[in-house]
Amino acid sequence: MRVGIAAIGTRGDVAPLTDVGARLLQAGHEVVMSAPTPFGKEIERCGLAFRDMGGDPQTSELAGANVAKLVMAAVAPRTVLAMGTMVLDTLRDDQLDVLLLSPFAEFGGHPLAEARGIPSLGVRLQPLSATGEYPPSVLGSWSLGRHGNLAAGRLAASLVDKLYGNVISELRERLGLPAVGAGTLRRRRTENGWPVLHGYSPSVLPRPSDWRAGLDVVGYWWPRRDLGWRPPGDLVDFLEAGPPPVVVGFGSFLTNRRNAARLSEHVVGALRTAGVRGILQAGWAGLAASGEDVLTVGEVPHDWLLHKAAALVHACGAGTTAAGMRAGIPMIGVPVTGDQPFWARKLRDHGMSPATVPYWRLSAKRLAAAVEAAVGDPSYRERARHIAARLAREDGAGAVVKAVESLAR
């Protein structure tokens, strides 16, 4: 089969799907992956055909804007229309048998699959379907009770249909499809049992008992490391020079220089107050510090670095949360927005984290107390290792391969 994967977002959204693509390739399928420009080399290293959507989220004109403005811009109808157009422009001429869609790729992917008469499959890193068992993952971490959670999830879906109804209509029109309301299309997918696979562990977040058939939790998808990658010499020297450090990184969180300096100051102050060494992953936030007890690094594969760490401080995006669990180390969430508070809460629920320090409440004192607890109380590491052992027995990408092959039968 010739399988298309449409992945839109930052590294945390795209990289896990390279694992899915590589496993499909190993199973004998042709794989075409459409994604933003910065991920092209990584995709091609996995042996996948790359379709360039263009764009680079890190160089967005909104870089340095406040969090609220960034979120509003990311979900604005014009932005979503541009995303849908990217999917159409990069994949409409490929002769595909199956199409895999990340959440933001669904807007263009659904009409494209319909126009081509091919099956599609949702691939999600967070739960987006309504359930009474927990609140919508993108709206926060506190439960509203079973009825409240379910109502909130259904309301969120209805708002999405209303907000993006015109976007969906325009994308359908470009493909010559008849006009159908967004709500009607969603109900059709539900009635037809449109399959969605969730790339996180049922050991971390079990499949809700009230989900419809076709919504499945299959296990994490792990980003593929470049086989030619070698660690920088200064990083190796730092790791060998003392006890395991605390790793700190905020991934794809964009901010301005002033906020980056303040964030770095809080982090380094916390590490030194707690009496631990630290490695700062610069990331999009631009973390930076120096000294005998602190090292700043660029992009380093988590599957290499985190096993060598005493703990991890991060924003709790789905991908970094998964990487910390895989490494079996304590974590401290500093969530900023989106699904990050949801995953930070799960870390506490599973006993892998002593505290959450929301970004808007971050101070050196609060973070130092959490770091001291994470590295000083062995129970957090014990629970983290227990989860890591369970993750090691799962095969999330293999489940996607089986699902794709079943669609073609």
Over 80: is that where the pLDDT of 272 sits?
A: yes
- Mean pLDDT across the stretch 85-90? 95
H helix intervals, 314-395:
318-327, 340-349, 364-376, 378-392
Task: Give the percent of the chain with pLDDT over 70.
Answer: 95
Least confident stretch, 18-27, 154-163, 178-187, 289-298: 289-298
pLDDT digits (tens, 9 = 90+) for 309-327: 999 999 999 999 999 999 9
pLDDT digits (tens, 9 = 90+) for 342-398: 999 999 999 999 999 998 899 999 999 999 999 999 999 999 999 999 999 999 999
What integer pLDDT is reported at residue 66 of this predicted model?
62
Write down the pTM of the prediction. Answer: 0.94
Q: Residue type for 43, please?
A: I
Angle at 339 between CA 39 and CA 343, to 5 degrees: 105
Q: Measure CA 214 to chain center.
A: 21
Over 80: is that where the pLDDT of 70 sits?
A: no
Over 80: is that where the pLDDT of 55 sits?
A: no
Tell me if 313 sits within 8 A of 297, measured CB to CB: no
Tell me if 254 sits within 8 A of 62, measured CB to CB: yes
**C-alpha–C-alpha distance, residues 90 and 40, integer Å:** 13
Over 70: is that where the pLDDT of 308 sits?
A: yes
The sheet with strand 246-249 has its strands ordered as 294-297, 278-281, 246-249, 311-314, 331-333
Residue with tokens 């379910």: 150
Q: How many CA atoms lie within 13 A of 189 on its CB side?
A: 21
Least confident stretch, 85-99, 240-254, 361-375: 240-254
List all residues 6 or more positions away from 82 whose beta carbon is below 8 Å from its beta carbon: none
What integer pLDDT is reported at residue 68 of this predicted model?
67
Over the chain, what is the mean pLDDT?
Answer: 93
Q: Which two tokens stand for residue 19?
A: 């694992």
Q: How confident is the model at residue 139 (pLDDT cuts 50, 70, 90)?
A: confident
What integer pLDDT is reported at residue 67 of this predicted model?
64
CATH 3.40.50.2000 domain span(s) along the chain:
2-220+395-407, 233-392
As a CATH number, domain 233-392 is 3.40.50.2000
The CATH architecture one would assign to domain 2-220+395-407 is: 3-Layer(aba) Sandwich (3.40)
Over 70: is that where the pLDDT of 58 sits?
A: no
Q: Dmax over Cα atoms in the chain, in whole Å?
A: 65
Over 90: is that where the pLDDT of 62 sits?
A: no
